[in-house]
Amino acid sequence: MRLTAILIAILAAASALPAPAETPAQFRDAFAREAKAENPAFAAPSADRGRAFFTALHGREWSCASCHTQNPAAAGKHAATGKPITALAPAANAERFTSAAKVEKWFRRNCNDVAGRPCSAQEKADILAWLLAAK
């Protein structure tokens, strides 16, 4: 009987979890919800803030655009290695931002490389807002 109660509690908790994001817009919205939970004053993702973050130099003297170019709908190349990088904007590359594991991996790696720290949920939401607007 106790095992049944535990299983019911686990299933109830699991059903309350949000469905995993699978589209760039769903990732943007998930980061926006996280940003709102962290900061109730956060209103909505901003493509303008996303563009500003993407193009600004950060702690490591790089910007996102150093590798991804000022136009995220264009292919880029890694600033240090020269390795080709496919277009970042979902409109130009439908495979971008469709896997939670890849989204987390690349935000973690690139934010550390560019800013020298993890990006906030708001920064991620803003970047995705801008990338979704890029054609």
- pLDDT of residue 21 exceeding 50: yes
Q: Angle of helix 47-55 relative to helix 121-133, nearest 10 degrees?
A: 100
7 falls within a domain:
no
14 falls within a domain:
no
Work out the average pLDDT over 72-84.
92
Cα gap 135→125, rounded to integer Å: 18
Number of domains in the chain: 1
* CATH code for position 125: 1.10.760.10
pTM flag (> 0.85): no
CB 64 within 8 A of CB 127: yes
43 falls within a domain:
yes
CB 68 within 8 A of CB 88: yes
Looking at residue 82, what is its pLDDT?
A: 92
Domain span holding position 88 = 21-133
CB 36 within 8 A of CB 42: yes
Give residue 16's pLDDT band: very low, low, confident or very high (50, 70, 90).
Answer: very low
Cα gap 28→54, rounded to integer Å: 15
2 falls within a domain:
no
- pLDDT of residue 18 exceeding 70: no
49 falls within a domain:
yes
3 falls within a domain:
no
- pLDDT of residue 86 exceeding 90: yes
- pLDDT of residue 22 exceeding 70: yes
- What pLDDT digit, counting tens, does each position of 117-131 carry? 999 999 999 999 999
- pLDDT of residue 23 exceeding 50: yes
